[in-house]
Chains A and B, each alone.
Chain A
Amino acid sequence: MAISGLVLILFLLAHMYGNLKVFEGQDAFDSYSHHLRELGEPILPYGGALWIIRVVLLAAIVVHAVSAIILWRRARRATGGKGGARYASSKAPRGAQRSYASFTLRWGGVTIALFVIYHLLHLTTNTIAPGGASDSPYERVVNGFSIWWVVLSYTIALIALAFHLRHGIWAAMATLGANTSPKRRKNLNIVAVVVAAVIVVGFLIPPYAVLLGLVG
């Protein structure tokens, strides 16, 4: 769970970095996109690195999802299927201290999975092409994000991602043994909030820039 999650976070950071190239204009963005396919040449064939990354990511997603389902089933078995809501009392809906983010992990994860499919159909395969299809990745981005509801759908997904990362990053590091003291617990939580915020803000900048006419 933790390791696959961290792999996916590394991908997100790289992906976000790439997205920001949209500000350097169409040529830079399209050639960045093209370079991804040439990465590792001539040792690797054209598109080889990208496929390796895709396989690793897919494996990470599968591991992440399978682990989540195992954990989920164990929790359901241990709590009679009711989790934190297994008490008749409704006086402590958020327990003693738990964060809102910790509630969203499972359904938030499902939301993100659905979004990823939508996202791939939109910007990778261009099967869905609001605002018009194009061979230029730059144009796909600009065409799509000029429409307000596309930006809104991405925003909702990214908020889900934010909560997912807020708890997930902390939990992953703690699970891997990084939580060595109460002080460290606090710091790891700060790291989780900061990384989650950076990723989400970083991802939201390009669509809003397009929507507000700063790009394109």
Chain B
Amino acid sequence: MSSVSDTQYFTVGEPIADTKAPDVPINLMWDERRFEAKLVNPTNRRKRSVIIVGTGLAGGSAAATLGEAGYHVKNFCYQDSPRRAHSIAAQGGINAAKNYRNDGDSVHRLFYDTVKGGDYRSRESNVYRLSQVSVEIIDQCVAQGVPFAREYGGLLDNRSFGGVQVSRTFYARGQTGQQLLLGAYQALERQIGAGNVEMYTRHEMLDVVLVEGRARGIVVRDMVSGEIETHMADVVVLGTGGYGNVFFLSTNAMGCNVTATWRAHRKGAYFGNPCYTQIHPTCIPVSGDYQSKLTLMSESLRNDGRIWVPVQAGDDRDPRQIPEAERDYYLERRYPAFGNLVPRDVASRAAKQACDEGRGVGPGGRGVFLDFADAIARLGRKAVEAKYGNLFEMYAQITGEDPYVTPMRIYPAVHYTMGGLWVDYDLESTIPGLFVIGEANFSDHGANRLGASALMQGLSDGYFVLPSTIANYLADAPFEAADSTHPAAVEATDAVRERVQRLLSINGTRTVDSFHKELGHIMWEYCGMERSAEGLTKAIGLIRALREEFWTNVRVTGANEELNQTLERAGRVADFFELGELMCIDALHREESCGGHFRAEHQTPDGEALRDDDNFAYVAAWEFGGDGGGPVLHKEDLVYEAIEMKQRSYK
């Protein structure tokens, strides 16, 4: 139960539940839903218009598929080309229950692993469907020409990823996201060329337009001319990615932001589990205040690298001069069975603790060593080079240090956000006609995402799930005629203009980035790898004060009627303040530890995450409570029928 102390921040509303998943056994649900769903006659599709925001794996694949199906699609992205969406940076691979290795994999096993990996905080029905659809994704991508890794026999190669016991991960060297995204991008460009999809690049969504309670359009800013435009359609889809940039430093791209989903949240879409963030343990540490982003290195490095810090705090000797006896291989010491291969969240927290004790290494003391000296001595430099050569090269490129000679330095970084807009089985949010796909929704990963599952979810939503469920919605069209002169559209557009003018008129003394960095610092410190009631309460106060200062003291140069990158960033940071506060409230209210959410007060004697299934086996769906009002919590109880809940242990 929520403690009394946090209710000052929010109120509890009516429970919420998914009503769309049919009441049949889980393995028949998707078939049943597709069968009962209404269809749109092919000749009518051209008359139905769809707005899709985002061109990543989810948005791009959805736009291509719906365009091909014959709908009139308008697709928007803030980058200069749909090919730049940040899905492109995903490295590892994509899971699919193909069982090509005959190693006992199945749809059910992928389903089970995903639910377990999510620490039993995801919805069974959605995850089961994801596992079913995974199989078709690989077929689709191969047909498009995605050059997956192959074996000498010409068949697809698979590897085991993220600690699972079967080899179900398909990959294209370390650039799987790039190759999958280019597949979707090419399919999308074909539809653009065919006139089925209208593409709007360098357009940023700033609000959603609701007509009679339905999402009917969006307000966007043309980032080149500054023109505020209104686009209307029968349905709106958000595939706008995650919000890891609330931390300022993350592995996200510079432009990744929460504005699209946050603006929809403010208009009535519930936000699910905002506090669930995934932190990746093997990133390259921060080298100075100027740092703009963090770069991830494959977790596979932990297979052969040994993680350590000096025993003595403040020991700044050259690591090669520190004798064995004065090194603390803390993961091997604390987790003798798993050693350096403990899960991401455990490894991340342990690194933070070592640094908090003053034993961190490198600039600012925020880093731990990942040492390959033993591996090089044991396997030889050649073998290490063959396995990790490209990663070592990348590390040397960024840090200027040679990891063959001195140990690498690593530190955890924010990588993925499991939370997002709440959606039902049809991927429809609490606003009718507003569908949310990919990382932007909360649906499939629970409290922690399994490796190689983000790509799977994005493509599953975009290629297969959304095109079926959106047809059911569009079958009820036409809705009330509404163009950009509709009062609701005019009102939303005016509000956007007003907000832009307000940002431009403050003319204070601090830059947007300085606010963003400070917000990120607060979030990382108090709502990062380890959270406590005390810290979160403090963070909420700090964020509110900073937000107030922002609105009185930020300096946004230039005008609206031009390409203005400062203005773009200012709007995004303004929304991050509000999101950050909600994340802290969510983290504060969830008096348990689960997956990526670790509350210091709730751990086992061994320092493991301690779930409270009796009181917290639910999705926290937050309703916007108005400016100045606290959010309203709606709980969706998670019922496990196909899978039994268990506690995990890595000792």
Q: Do chains A and B touch in the complex (CB under 8 A)?
A: no
Query: Interface residues, chain B, CB within 8 Å of chain A?
Result: none
Query: Interface residues, chain A, CB within 8 Å of chain B?
Result: none
